Amino acid sequence: MRVFVTGVGGYIGGAVAVRLLQEGHTVVGLTRDGAKVGALARLGIQPVVGTLDDADVLTVQARGADAVVNAADSDHLRAVRTLVAALAGSGKPLIHTSGSSIVGVGTDGEVSSAIFHEDVLDSDSGWEPEHPIRKARVAIDRLVLAAAEQGVRTAVLCHSLIYGPAQGLPGESVLIAALVRQARAAGVVRQVGGGGNIWSNVHLGDVAELYLLALEKSSPGTFYFVESGEESIGAMAAAIARCLGLPGPVPWHPDADADAADSVWDPQFAMHALGSNSRVRGSRARDLLGWRPRHHSIIDWLSSTSFGETVER
């Protein structure tokens, strides 16, 4: 199969591309960065230089492929519209990458009991899909799912916090990198508030496996939460402290500590990501696609990683 992958130079797209290549598929990958072309080609990927705004590039590549994986940006509406239009009536798979911050609950580091299931997008009750922080991403996810009616075999993989080593070019997951970056800048590991807030999570290797399964056999218009465990940010921060040999974790408060000289967290990011909960449960990947995640502990991984320079970006 010839698969067009956006975000092939990134953390998720890179892992998906490498896994597809291992299975003997051909991968054509979009990158904005001409300097990555050589490294991508050495991985076996056929690079195409362009951006998600280049409608002609996306259209030609999507039409020339047997399937499309959109892993560059969960929030790029124009790209999704272009890809759907290019594939309309083809019956080809379009696997879109989303993230479980769509059901985030900001609590400044306190645990929330709210747990969300895969029917969440079917209704507007019981959560706040219109909240400004998530409205645009929710609308894109719904648009992708609705494109099944236009003859595209769409799926939305809505990932929780992804962890694990990069599989393609160097890269790292956003939340872990932010915790490590702050720790290095401050000489102490920090967490938002008490750090009791919880994120579901999943290993990058298991994520890549799921794209393969979804490309192969997902039914049109299916939404998946992708998770295989959950953990508090405080426990993650403690594991990072042990690994880096730094003190902490100590509380950090977006309002009071944002101006600290060693602070590298944007207060909005701290509040809505590091200080929030995103607790999801997904059964469809297991029940419908036979997905069997092999990794179940982000703490085990954090405890065994050296946090090389690739964690910085």
Ligand X SMILES: NC(=O)c1ccc[n+]([C@@H]2O[C@H](COP(=O)([O-])OP(=O)(O)OC[C@H]3O[C@@H](n4cnc5c(N)ncnc54)[C@H](OP(=O)(O)O)[C@@H]3O)[C@@H](O)[C@H]2O)c1
**Shortest gap between Cβ of 256 and ligand X (angstroms)?**
27
Nearer to ligand X, 52 or 94 (CB): 52
Name the DSSP letter for residue 9.
T
The residue range among 67-75, 118-126, 147-155, 297-305 that interacts with ligand X, by the rule CB under 6 A, is 67-75
Nearer to ligand X, 66 or 73 (CB): 73
* Three-state SS at 31: strand
Nearer to ligand X, 34 or 89 (CB): 34
End-to-end CA distance of the chain: 33
Residue 9 binding ligand X, by CB under 6 A: yes
DSSP letters for 199-230: EEEEEHHHHHHHHHHHHHHPPTTEEEEE-S-E
Residue 51 binding ligand X, by CB under 6 A: yes
Tokens read off for 161:
């916090």
Figure out which of the listed residues 5, 28, 61, 74 binds ligand X, where binding follows CB under 6 A.
74
Q: What is the distance between the alpha carbons of residues 28 and 65, in angstroms, rounded to a whole number?
A: 8
Binding-site residue total for ligand X (CB under 6 A)?
Answer: 27
Question: What does the CA dihedral 225, 19, 289, 86 come to, rounded to 10 degrees?
Answer: 80
Q: What is the distance between the alpha carbons of residues 137 and 135, in angstroms, rounded to a whole number?
A: 6
Residue 165 binding ligand X, by CB under 6 A: no
The residue range among 2-10, 145-153, 231-239, 297-305 that interacts with ligand X, by the rule CB under 6 A, is 2-10
**Shortest gap between Cβ of 202 and ligand X (angstroms)?**
8
Figure out which of the listed residues 45, 52, 198, 210 binds ligand X, where binding follows CB under 6 A.
52
The H-or-E segment that residue 2 falls in is strand 2-6
CB atoms within 10 A of CB 309: 8
Q: Which residue is nearest to ligand X (CB)?
A: 10
Residue 225 binding ligand X, by CB under 6 A: no
**Residue ranges that bind ligand X, judged by CB under 6 A:** 6-7, 9-13, 30-33, 36, 51-52, 71-75, 97, 99, 159, 161-162, 171, 173-174
